[in-house]
Amino acid sequence: MKATLAAVLIGLSALPLWAQTTATTAGADFDAERARLGDEQKAIDARYLTEQQACYKKFAVEDCLRDSRRRRRTATDDIKRQQAAINDFERKRRGAAELDKLEQQNSSQKAQDADAQREQSLKSQQDREQRAADHAASRAGAAAQEAENRRQFEKRQHEHAEEQADVAKRKAQAPVAHAEYEEKQRKAAEHRAELERRNAQRDKPRSAPLSEPGAAAPAPAAPKSP
């Protein structure tokens, strides 16, 4: 916008007062100004032809023609200066408009770049936060796994210690158990022997009663005939 304003001010400073007034108040209607200057040039040319005809009727023809040409040249130069000022100002105004357009495009691009940079920064921040969260979750998972491994190890150690204690207990109790077993076997053998003895006494045939003194001995049985 500063470049545009500077270009407009430079263009206005190159214009005559009428052009500055027209450019600022009438929206710089250059086509109308060109048409007006064209009409003035036609009027200058027509006046010049009239003056030439009048000069030929005077005594000092050459002096009259020279003065007429000078007036025409002066007026025409003024018209050309005004036309050049209009063309220069219009060219500068177009250049300022192009600069303003470029500045707007650059401003829009800068805004887009700023938005993209902010979005990238936000995404980078989110990525860093996500990586930090993942790292923290990984550390927590590793710590939990380590605690579980330690618990399992301690459990196996405890079970192994219990197994070793049980083995040692069984080894310590083995002689006592063996003695108890031998005692049971011995008692069982004695019990069986006692039963066998009793059974043998019960099954043994009873002996004949002894005869009284002085009693006659029974006669022997006669042998059976064949």
pLDDT of residue 13: 47
Give pLDDT tens digits for 93-122. 999 999 989 988 888 888 888 889 898 998
Category of 208 on φ-ψ map: left (φ > 0), alpha (ψ -120 to 50) or beta: beta
pLDDT of residue 202: 83
pLDDT of residue 1: 37
| pTM (two decimals) | 0.38
End-to-end CA distance of the chain: 169
Show me where the domains of the chain are located: 2-138
pLDDT of residue 107: 87
